[in-house]
Amino acid sequence: MPKVLISDKLSPRAVDIFTERGVDVDVKPGLSPDELAAIIGEYDGLAIRSATKVTRDILDAAPNLKVVGRAGIGVDNVDIPEATKRGVVVMNTPFGNAVTTAEHAITMILSLARQIPAANESTQAGKWEKSRFMGTEITGKRLGIIGCGNIGAIVADRAQGLKMRVMGYDPYLTPENATRLGIEKVELDELLAQADFITLHTPLTDGTRNIISADALNKTKKGVRIVNCARGGLVDEMALAAALGTGHVAGAALDVFENEPATDNILFGMDNVVATPHLGASTTEAQEKVALQVAEQMADFLVKGAVTNALNMASVSAEEAPILKPYMVLGRQLGSFLGQVESEGLQSVSIELDGKAAVLNPEPIVASTLAGLLGPVMESVNMVNAAAVASANGIAVSTVRHDRQCDYETLLRVTIKHASGSRTIAGTLVGGDKARIVEVQHIAVESDFPAHLLYLRNYDKPGFIGDLGTLCGKYGVNIATFHLGRRDVGGEAVALVEIDGELPDSMLGDLRALKQVVRVDALQFQQ
């Protein structure tokens, strides 16, 4: 039974979901890094929020870890590149708190426009400073949204309901989606120059860090108001403090800070700053949603192989998983065949899908094929990291889906190019789920993927089968099945011979010495 550790505070209902779906679960919030490292090796999955830091040291101590699930959007506390190297899936729940965070951003905009926090503090102190708190209407004002993904789109919708004019900057926002969302798509400099309010809803990356910099603030119109409910580090806090001090920026509302917990910050104490302690996702509804979602996603992955909202591999829905699984096995075995035969100097991999295979989600099949191909020569390669390993080693990967008639109901062909040429193999599914070879080097030949397989390339000459049988008898090697194919009479041929057990090294030498044999490989396949 898979085993999961919940190391941060989650809804108790998450435990019920894990248990109901056949996953053993322990709840141990508040562990120190050393305490977590001491026990994480026992677990297949780790469910977290923002408190637990999944660092390289934690991953070093987690040889059995298969998945990390973050109940929430941000994964700054997870070393995703290191997790990917180790084949650990990293999931988040991008939709569970989207509405809550968007509502918080809208609340911050309204609070900032009407100076509500400062007015509340003044009034409760017994003052009546009506003339001090002159606000501004938001109706008709231009709202600039930086990052128009899930949360940004909801903010745009709510802002339009408040009669704001919405513009957005997002390199991934298509003109069609912008039109659908009612967002005027602009470049960043145009947004900075025209917006009355700017709200940030983008991840923190090398490209977005300090996107609101001193230079960016200099490009904004005088009196702009800045809202950040996304990630600390998107705003240069020193530059913002300076712009607030001169009055160029009329106000700022921040829910996130570069260093958290933020108990001391250069922006604190400024009259034109509204600050909250990272409350964007802090509603009862949102916390319940993300906890349940992360439990469902992790359980489905560990039990069914479904991959949802993963940040470092292709998604596979629970409905897709049983359909894709035999194709992923076929791809892995075809890749393993080629990886064992030709492991040096790989330059490119082409994966072609024909028939029924052509209409499936190709990414999991490609990932499984690459894992099979690279596994024989590289340590710790699996579906999660195979594409990254291929890229890091300069191996180009292409996928082709054919819309054409096929000799088989479904077909998968893998072709590799290497320093000295190319190799290809094709396979199909028999009975819907049994992987079978149907072609090697464009020569028709059929075979299963047994635990032990002799692959021979030879010339189609009399005596070859007799010589092979004689050697097998000499070394006490039993032939289980025997499959032959040839290109033409007397020409190049292929033999796929299933044997019972491993082949003695000395026999391989004798086989290679046969005059009809071009090459021999002893292959093994995971069953």
Which residues participate in catalysis according to the annotation?
Answer: 231, 260, 278
Rounded CA-CA distance 522/471 in Å is 15
CB count, 10 Å around CB of 65? 23
Rounded CA-CA distance 161/155 in Å is 10
Rounded CA-CA distance 387/125 in Å is 61
* Structure tokens belonging to residue 335: 């890749």
CB count, 10 Å around CB of 254? 24
**64-70 long-range contacts, CB within 8 A, separation 24+:** 65/40, 66/2, 66/301, 66/302, 67/91, 67/298, 67/301, 67/302, 69/45, 69/93, 69/294, 69/295, 69/297, 69/298, 70/294
CB count, 10 Å around CB of 458? 23
Cβ atoms of 454 and 503 closer than 8 Å: yes
* Structure tokens belonging to residue 16: 């019920």
- From the number of C-beta atoms within 10 Å of its C-beta (0-12, 13-18, 19+), residue 350 rates as middle
Sign (positive or negative) of CA dihedral 288, 293, 298, 299 = positive
CB count, 10 Å around CB of 128? 8
Half-sphere exposure (Cβ direction) of 226: Cα atoms closer than 13 Å = 29
Rounded CA-CA distance 74/413 in Å is 39
* Structure tokens belonging to residue 328: 């992923």
Cβ atoms of 415 and 335 closer than 8 Å: no
| Of residues 64, 72, 22, the one with CA closest to residue 47 | 72
Rounded CA-CA distance 258/265 in Å is 9
